[in-house]
């Protein structure tokens, strides 16, 4: 049997080889940005594989695909920092045509730098899938998992990875795989932001700035605009940043990741590390929302978005 996707430790080597080039040639201003993204990517892969056990029961080929996608999900960040000097997605269009965010850039980078040829040596069967997940991970999608519920487990039980991509009858299952892997990466990505604040790796600024009441209403309805939109409307400040972070709870899809936030008391800890009286209502609301999300899940795996 040929190994279609390289072993996970070989993937990690490939990832480090590629990203170390950026770290080694970085200047003082950007070196920590590259290092942070390298550590973040490794964290997201480790956590994604823990969550994945629920879906694939460690089916080797599915696991290797998720490892690859999670490890490389932010691969566009390295080129982004080199070319634009920042991680601000809204500035990418000044440098590239038709590029919405670092996910779009990542899909191009992984192909153009020949990384897929090294990571998946024998076949080009999964290239499109990997690029699709990298592109999707940076886009907010309200109902990535809505409506599929239990189907995903069947999808993985009935196929092996290669069969899934070779069969003409498995479009629905392939779609489920894309959604599950993207959701795992997005949820874990958000978990990492909370953990970073708790560990003091990143501490949000403390200010006295008020939060626009209209924004708080939208936050409670789960309709908070994106950071860029809030900035464009001139309503951004450090305390609004708390609102954006607490809105992650609403955007998450997977109960196992939400359970980690609950079990590790991450909302309280993030509040203790960086909160203040102005942002307290947002934290209290996020805690209620966390409980609702966990309790309203029908299968204990996928969040019911209509809660």
Q: Where do contacts with Fe ion occur on this chain (CB under 5 A)?
A: 74, 138
Q: How far is the CB of 2 from Fe ion (least distance, A)?
A: 31
Q: How far is the CB of 75 from Fe ion (least distance, A)?
A: 9
Comparing CB distances to Fe ion, the nearer of 91 and 208 is 91
Nearest to 78 by CA among 18, 28, 12: 18
Q: Are 188 and 47 in contact (CB under 8 A)?
A: yes
Q: What residue number has its CB nearest to Fe ion?
A: 74
Q: How far is the CB of 137 from Fe ion (least distance, A)?
A: 6
Q: How far is the CB of 102 from Fe ion (least distance, A)?
A: 6
Comparing CB distances to Fe ion, the nearer of 44 and 180 is 44
- Rounded to 5°, the CA angle 181-10-28 comes to 85
Q: How far is the CB of 5 from Fe ion (least distance, A)?
A: 21
Comparing CB distances to Fe ion, the nearer of 61 and 138 is 138
Nearest to 14 by CA among 68, 77, 60: 68
Comparing CB distances to Fe ion, the nearer of 193 and 294 is 193
Comparing CB distances to Fe ion, the nearer of 78 and 236 is 78
Q: How far is the CB of 210 from Fe ion (least distance, A)?
A: 30
Q: How far is the CB of 212 from Fe ion (least distance, A)?
A: 27
Comparing CB distances to Fe ion, the nearer of 11 and 41 is 41
From residue 209, how far is each of 85, 215, 233, 235 by CA, in Å?
Answer: 28, 13, 16, 10
Comparing CB distances to Fe ion, the nearer of 138 and 183 is 138
The strand pairing partners of 254, in sequence order, are 302
């Amino acid at each position: 049997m040929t190994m279609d996707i390289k072993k996970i430790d070989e993937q990690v080597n490939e990832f480090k080889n590629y990203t170390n080039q950026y770290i080694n040639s970085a200047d003082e201003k950007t070196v920590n940005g590259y290092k942070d993204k390298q550590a973040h990517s490794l964290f997201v892969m480790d956590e994604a594989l823990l969550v994945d056990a629920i879906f694939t029961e460690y089916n080797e080929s599915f696991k290797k695909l998720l490892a690859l996608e999670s490890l490389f999900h932010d691969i566009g960040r390295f080129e982004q920092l080199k070319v634009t000097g920042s991680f601000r997605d809204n500035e990418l269009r000044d440098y590239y045509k038709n590029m919405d965010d670092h996910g779009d850039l990542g899909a191009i980078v992984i192909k153009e730098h020949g990384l897929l040829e090294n990571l998946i040596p024998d076949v080009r069967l999964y290239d499109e899938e990997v690029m699709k997940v990298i592109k999707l991970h940076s886009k907010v999608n309200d109902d990535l998992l809505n409506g599929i519920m239990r189907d995903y487990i069947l999808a993985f039980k009935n196929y092996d990875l290669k069969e899934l991509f070779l069969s003409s009858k498995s479009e629905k299952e392939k779609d489920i795989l894309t959604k599950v892997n993207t959701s795992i990466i997005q949820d874990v990505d958000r978990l990492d932001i909370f953990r970073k604040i708790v560990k003091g790796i990143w501490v949000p600024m403390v200010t006295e700035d008020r939060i626009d009441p209209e924004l708080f209403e939208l936050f409670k309805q789960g309709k908070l605009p994106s950071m860029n939109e809030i900035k464009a409307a001139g309503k951004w400040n450090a305390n609004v940043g708390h609102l954006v972070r607490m809105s992650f709870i609403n955007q998450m899809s997977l109960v196992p990741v939400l359970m980690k936030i609950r079990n590790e008391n991450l909302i309280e800890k993030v509040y203790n590390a960086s909160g203040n009286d102005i942002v307290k209502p947002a934290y209290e609301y996020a805690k209620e929302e966390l409980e609702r999300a966990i309790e309203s899940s029908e299968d204990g795996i996928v969040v019911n978005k209509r809660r």
